[in-house]
Structure 1
């Protein structure tokens, strides 16, 4: 099953539950797309290793921070984590939209 598509995501962060929409288009060992959240929309790009995606995203609101994502796609579901600097890692889950 392809990692490509649109995903409704949920991150259980220290700031509460964060909902988002992840759009992914893979091209071999890399991908590009967008991550939309209440904080705004970011263009993203990262690596594809089998059914695992990894990427980083810079947020400026409510304060500047780099988020590091690692997610694994299993059919129409995804799971993984988001590392947010000193805040540690938070679980991420998602379903194909």
Structure 2
């Protein structure tokens, strides 16, 4: 079972500044789904996949946003405990650094 499910605060460093979002990942049996919230919109996560490796869990997903502009984003991060680090890419634009921390449950 993946350690991914839960709520995560993400920060993406981009050419227009740091963009923040909250990701909520949910496990339903062997299927992972999720929702991203940020910039006054909430969007579903598509094709959430986890591969376990020696350095942690490699997690990939895609999502579409409309703010600050309409983009289709692809994410690839490594999750280790309550931290994630990796990158996102929007089409032909340069990769954007992504970091995240799990939000503690009360």
TM norm structure 2: 0.81
What is aligned with 2:50? 48
Runs of 4+ in 1 over 6 A off after TM superposition: none
Please list every run of 5 or more consecutive structure 2 residues that lacks an aligned counterpart in the other structure: none
Query: Alpha-carbon deviation of 1:63?
Result: 3.0
What is aligned with 1:12? 13
**CA distances 1:9-50 after superposition (whole Å, capped 9, x unpaired):** 10001121001101112343x410111111511111321112
What is aligned with 2:67? 61
Distance change (3 Å), C-alpha of 1:36 and 1:72: same
Q: Determine if contact 2:21/2:36 at 8 Å carries over to the other structure.
A: yes
Give the number of equivalent residue pairs.
96
Q: Which has the larger radius of gyration?
A: 2
TM norm structure 1: 0.87
